[in-house]
Structure 1
Amino acid sequence: MVASVGLPVNRVEGVDKVTGKARYSADTQVAGVAYAALVQAQIPHGRVTAESVDAAAATASAAPGVLYVLTPTNCPPLQVLPKELTWDLPLERRPPLSDLTVQHVGQHMALVVADSPENAVHAASLMDFDYIAAPAHLDATEVVSGGGAADDVDELIRHGAYRPDHFVKLTDEKLQDFRGPRGEPPGIKVDQTYRTAVNAHYPIELSATVAQWDDGHLTVHDCTRWITGERRVLAAYLNIPEERIRVVSPLVGGAFGSKSFLWMHVVLCAVAAREVGRPVKLVLTRDQMFTSTGHRPRTEQQVALVADAAGTIVSTEHHTLTETSTVAHFCEPAGVSSRILYQSPRLAVTHTVARIHAPTPCFMRGPGEAPGLFALEMAMDELAYALGRDPLALRMDNLADVDQTDGRPWSSAHLARCYTTGARRFGWDRRPLQSRSLQRNGIRVGWGMATATYPGRRMPAACRVETDADGHVRFSAATHEIGTGVRTVMTQLAADTTGLPLSQVSFESGDSSFPDAPYSGASQTSASVGSAVFAAAQEWRGRADALPATADGPGRAAALSFTTASGPGPDVDTVSRSFGAHFCEVEVDEQIGRATVTRWVAVMDCGRVLNPKLATNQVMGGILFGLGMALMEQVPHDPHTGRLLGEYYVPTHADRPAFDISFVDSSDYGLDPIGVRGIGEIGVCGVAGAIASAIHHATGKWLRQLPITLEALLGPRDDDRED
């Protein structure tokens, strides 16, 4: 048998996707389905009157085809989630439609159910409320300075600011004091503030839910990346046993974090289906996705680096101010990379979260590392120029070979090799240190680089094996195909481990009736589910070898059908972490303020590569994701009303640079038995910093706020640092 792991096998669902046969949540066909439309709040803070809610519901109910209108005044009581579901996840403490207060623009205020999508939308448009506005806090700085109301930890709605050390695991910081007599560490210091904008996930597939009740059992077809978690949260809100809920999510068309958690529209769809006694389908609009399915919050990051004359870092500080809603906890852990990437005798990393009147944020591709590495890598470049050093050389001289938080070494680390390989492939040795040194056809050219890193993670997972009488073996787990090729690499892994050809093996996912698996996020699916598939395939092989040669048919199939489980990562004395290096070229037309990324080299150290084609696709997608973060993406709001303004720009194929993607293909068995680490997040990490670095090299401007806009590129150069 020819091994398939390590080969560029095509996606097993690829033909279905390109021919239109693939089915997503919104494609679900259920007999007798009704259609729902949301009504959302138009102010950031205040309340609505019960009288106006009832009047609006009466108006909508009289519209053609309307079957039911769900509002705060008639919504059946929903349960408050237990603390273990809300203390470190962006799940809302307050059940939807549970009171008449408004906590952000876009908050769900009603759900209209009708016999057609058009009638539901029309009736929803007729609903107007009388708002009693209250002061709204829309700025984190204002809240931290005392503008917000006092925090009451016992309430479902909370205000003020807090330090979420329990969430970002920032205890036991190294605080060895190197401060001089004037309160500052000795040496050459860079101390700057870097800002990132609100980013939207903007997946191709709109969030869609179909809810159906049968004899007290709920089936939910939803585009989710955590079907078992969604089942658990729905059970808690609805106060029914988990075993009476089934969540189905066959394929997910993009998510980037927005579909990792249950959002309020799913709960309301389930409630509405129960009330009308028939299935209900709800598909969010593109505008509603901006306020209803999470986002990356703004950050303001102060980074202070101190190095001695030889370029050795002696102090690192990284302090982040970010924001969450008043009804859920979330922290963008931007400082985590600063604790581990570069060696520093003194480390001080903090996060402050302000509760503002805005929708709940959540994890977005590369959470923490994506915005955090923009700030850290920009600061490293600024330090390099202050020292007169090459930015790559400064990084290589200060690499940490252990996790500085606990002293454990990396289980496998090849960052230096990523640097040297990437530099050679890019031609970094031809880069002049002086900015504004390169031109092409009258256009400024700049070369930049940055480091990528993301933790290796593994959680418990289980896998079922079912062997058909004809010998076909089906593996299944309650994981998800989110477009990354999970079904493909699990099939490859199962085939090689059992010794069967690919054509005789398949892998199924997307159903909570399958054995439990973690959410598809945090770059953990290959390590987590892959370990379970590997264990199941090994057991299948052992059972098959032990069967008598005469065993066949149903008896053989029954003997080779079972479920097995795999635990979390082993308790070892090493730390698993992925690394990489980005090198990029940009062209900056200073006459019109346009920056174009033209060339990209990335070398990644992500453990064993199961499928190089899919791995390369993931890194390319991550780089484009980071390109949008750096140059285009921001959700504009009116600073006084919180209302959305303008448009949201994302990269297209026209923005794609010439890619050179490669891997250090080295197995890491410190995390799992198959030697892999996740690859979904690391592609975006460091990208924005590399682009900002290249823009500085092209223009001489230190642009410390994302996205880097036309206005910033047309503005004057900084006077505080000449190169």
Structure 2
Amino acid sequence: MARSIGQPVSRVEGVDKVTGAARYTADTPIEGPAFAVLVQARIPHGRITADSMAAAAARAASAPGSIFVLTPLNCPVLHTLPEDMTWDLPLERRPPLSDLTVQHVGQHVAMVVADSPENATYAASLMTFDYEASPAQLSAGQVLTEPAVPDAGSVRHGAYRPDHFVKLTEEKLQDHRGPATEPAGVRIESTYRTPINTHYPIELSATIARWEGDDLVVHDCTRWITGERRALAAYLGIAEDRIRILSPLVGGAFGSKSFLWMHVVLCAVAAREVGRPVKLVLTRDQMYTSTGHRPRTEQTIRLVADEAAAIVSTEHHTLTETSTVAHFCEPAGLSTRFLYRSPRMIVSHEVARINAPTPCFMRGPGEAPGLFALEVAMDELAAATGQDPLQLRMAHVTDRDQTNGRPWSAADLTLCYQTGARRFGWDDRPSAPRSLVRNGVQVGWGMATATYPGRRMPASCSVETLPDGHVRFSAATHEVGTGVRTVMTQVAADTTGLPLDRVSFHSGDSYFPDAPYSGASQTTATVGSAVYAAAREWTRRLGTRTFPTDGADPELAAELTFTVTSDGAPETGAVSQSFGAHFCEVEVDEMLGRATVTRWVAVMDCGRVLNPKLAANQVMGGITFGVGMALLEQMPHDPTTGAPLGEYYVPTHADRPDFDISFLEHPDHELDPIGVRGIGEIGVCGVPAAIANAIHHATGKRLRTLPIVCEDLLEPDLGGES
């Protein structure tokens, strides 16, 4: 029997995607739809007058083709979400259109439904309002220095210190271990800043809602169909089993489609009010304010080393931001708690509530901005102690999780360092900055560590054996462009012993057995375990019989049709954590103020690799994501109004370095029976720091604020900092 696991199998939906046959939410054919357009607030804080809202609605209602105008004045009462969905997840406490108050620029304040997208857009443009403006707090600095603003129900102000990251109570956001006082030694202390980043997926968020009697069907580009179903049911006050969510393919997300956003609720309400399907596609500008973002961070790191260059104290303090209507904390210090050996450890996070849209997870939440700060700080400590940056890191590798004392499972960070350094040629790196020049431009070499947790949650999978001899596996998970359908098909085929063309995997329907959100790099370990269990059970039921190649008889097909459930990660034993090492080369043209990443070596320890083509693809994508974070991406805002300004730049093929990606291939059977850990997010972790460290090696400038822009790179200035 030919095995497919470990082989570079092409995506099972690849042909459909490249030929245009693949169907995304906005492509879904619907009979007789109406079209919706959102109307958004243009001030950061205040109230819309009731008279102006009524007048604006009347203007929109009288526009050509207008069918319905949904406003706070006529919106049916929506329920508040249960506390367990809002207190440590970025789901909004305040239902949409619940009143006339405004909490941020871009808040949804009305929805226009018309007979065509063009007529809906025109009608929406007629909705202008009179505002009663209130003072706005647009930054964490304002929140911490200005007089306290009183809370008003679900709207909250001020700053707070959350205990843990989302539902992961063991991932503490406030942590203090070791001596109370800082020991003496070589000390470095710096502050690092990261900007607002936006997800910018190719596929715009889209929703189609239709009612079939008292049942709601929603086509949506979401990565958590079961969670969206629960949240929708709570907002609408109906039973979950009356809602079906369909999301067959998602065209990129990076976190922006992990939760139910307010436009989905409003689309469902509008469809019920007009008695026909309603289709809504957000504009690119609306996605900046409607589907989350990575919030700003200000991180202060203090490292102390003794006379032998051993770290004796580590502190990492993060100040970040969320909205006034939802909780989210960018957990920048989580990796610092365990990555390098340190007898004294203090990590803290403070979150300021500002008048801005709700932030959320973005690829590598916490690790992406947090490792930028930590890994640049490690290079600063290496310079202060006269150590090679790689050797300093290798000297502080731990064999266990410092937060709980449990050993790592199937992890070898040291081998990642050694393999990457050899492949890159790190031994030839001169230690002094500005030592390398090529074709008249400065050249620098930098490196950084990557890490991301190995996660697994409970999941279920159904098996349906069809009369034609095809075996269909299904779970309510999602294909977000990472190759989930492909690797699940590989697992199912190899475990059952069937050829790939006799097996298929289906996802994206809330009627399928439950699975968690597709995020936190857990889908392969989580759903893959359920598929593996289902395939094993299929094989057990088949027993010694030979499965017929021309189809199964009805009795056998029924016997081989069932559903199984697999557990989550074990709560005891070794800890599953992925590690990796990034090495990069940059060229810096100081006359133009331009940095170009030319070469990249990455070695990843992510457990068993099911499909090397898809795995390398994921890491390349993550590194490219990190290149954008380091050199291009930021969402500037008007400091007085909070309105987004300018354009958002992302990397293109022209920004792609030459890649050398490899994996250690150490199966992690402590986490799951197929030995895998997630790959989707570790690729971006550490990338901005490796680039910043390489730029320091090229120019002598220590840059601590992202993105690194041309003004930072113009002209040699060995004492320059930012």
Q: TM range, normalised to the smaller chain?
A: over 0.9
AA aligned opposite 1:368: G
| 8 Å CA contact retained: 2:699, 2:718 | no
Return the alpha-carbon distance in structure 2 between the equivalents of residues 517 and 386 of structure 1: 49
Aligned counterparts of 2:35 and 2:461: Cα–Cα separation in 1? 36
Deviation at 1:717, TM superposition (A): 3.0
Query: Percent of counterpart pairs with the same letter?
Result: 73
Counterpart CA distance in 1 for 2:528 and 2:405 is 29
Per-residue deviation at 1:720? Answer: 8.1
Equivalent-residue separation in structure 2 for 1:639 and 1:521 (angstroms): 32
Is 1:197 aligned to 2:199, yes or no? no
Q: Is contact 2:165-2:173 (8 Å) kept?
A: no
Distance change >3 Å, CA 165–CA 47, structure 1 → 2: same
Q: Does 1:439 align with 2:452?
A: no
- 1:58 corresponds in structure 2 to 58
Note the alpha carbon deviations across 1:534-571, whole angstroms, 9 max, x for none.
00000000001155989941111100000000011123
Q: CA deviation at 1:176?
A: 1.9
> Structure 1, unaligned stretches of length 5 or more?
none
Q: How many residues align?
A: 715
Question: Any idea what the Cα deviations from partners look like across 1:79-125, whole Å, max 9, x if unmatched?
Answer: 00000000111000000000110000000010000000000000000
Which residue type is aligned with residue 646 of structure 1? G
SS at match of 1:423: helix
Any idea what the Cα deviations from partners look like across 1:10-29, whole Å, max 9, x if unmatched? 00000000000000000011
Structure 2 counterpart of 1:512, which letter?
S
Partner of 1:175: 177
Separation in structure 2 between the aligned mates of residue 301 and residue 270 of structure 1, nearest angstrom: 41
1:208 Cα deviation from its structure 2 partner = 0.2
Structure 2: how far apart are the matches of 1:167 and 1:718? 39
Amino acid in structure 2 at the alignment position of 1:557? A
- 1:65-214 to 2 correspondence within 5 Å? 65-151=65-151, 155-167=153-165, 169-170=171-172, 173-177=175-179, 179=181, 184-214=182-212
CA distance in 1, matches of 2:101, 2:226: 31
Distance 2:178 2:221 in 1: 48
Q: Deviation per CA, 1:612-642, whole angstroms, max 9, x where unpaired?
A: 0000000000000000000000001001110
Matched residue SS, 2:165: helix
For 1:719 and 1:18, the matched residues in 2 are separated by 50
Q: After the TM superposition, which residues 573-592 of structure 1 pair with which residues of structure 2 at under 5 Å, given as runs?
A: 573-592=573-592
TM-score, structure 1 normalization:
0.97
Q: What corresponds to 1:541 in structure 2?
A: 539
Which deviates further from its counterpart, 539-548 or 164-173? 164-173
How far did residue 380 of structure 1 move?
0.1
CA deviation digits over 1:369-388, x for unaligned, max 9? 00000000000000000011
For structure 2, list consecutive stretches of 5 or more residues without a partner in the other structure.
none
2:444 is paired with a residue whose SS is strand
CA shift at 1:644, angstroms?
1.1
Q: CA RMSD in A?
A: 1.3
Q: What residue number does 2:24 align with?
A: 24
Shift of 1:411: 1.0
Distance 2:576 2:180 in 1: 30
Distance 2:581 2:394 in 1: 11
Whole-Å separation in 2 of the counterparts to 1:171 and 1:629 = 23
The residue type equivalent to 1:28 in the other structure is T
State the Cα distance separating 1:429 from its structure 2 match. Answer: 0.2
Residues 645 and 217 from structure 1, CA distance in 2 versus in 1: closer, same or farther, beyond 3 angstroms? Answer: same
**TM-score, length basis structure 2:** 0.98
Post-superposition offset of 1:685: 0.2
CA–CA distance in structure 1, aligned partners of residues 604 and 479 of structure 2:
23
Q: Is the 8 A contact 1:213 1:219 kept in 2?
A: yes
Partner of 1:506: 504
Q: Structure 1 residue aligned with 2:284, among 281, 286, 292?
A: 286
Aligned to 2:646: 646
Name the residue aligned to 2:669: 669
In structure 1, the residue matched to 2:606 is 606
Once the two structures are TM-superposed, the CA of residue 713 in structure 1 deviates from its matched residue by: 1.2
Task: Note if contact 1:25-1:208 (Cα within 8 Å) is conserved in structure 2.
Answer: yes
* In structure 2, distance between residues paired with 1:177 and 1:554: 69
Find the aligned partners of 1:205 and 1:690 in 2 and give their Cα distance: 30
Post-superposition offset of 1:147:
4.2
Amino acid at match of 1:586: V
Distance in 2 of aligned mates of 1:548 and 1:640? 72
CA deviations over 1:316-339 (Å, ceiling 9, x no partner): 000000000000000000000100
Partner secondary structure for residue 192 of structure 2: strand
Change in CA separation of 1:548 and 1:719 when aligned onto 2, cut-off 3 Å:
closer
Q: Deviations over 1:147-193 (max 9, x none)?
A: 441457xx2000000001133632783432263xxxx4211011000
Counterparts of 1:341 and 1:427, CA distance in 2:
24
Give the C-alpha shift of residue 44 in structure 1.
0.3
Spell out structure 1 runs of 4+ moving beyond 4 A.
Answer: 546-552
2:458 to 442, 460, 482: 460
8 Å Cα contact 1:469/1:556 also seen in 2: no
Partner Cα distance (1:575, 1:618) in 2: 23
Q: What is the DSSP-based 3-state SS (H/G/I as helix, E as strand, rest coil) of the residue aligned with 2:223?
A: coil
Deviation at 1:67, TM superposition (A): 0.3
SS of 1:213 mapped into structure 2: strand
Assess if the C-alpha contact under 8 Å between 2:245 and 2:509 holds in 1.
yes
What amino acid does structure 2 have at the position aligned with 1:71? T
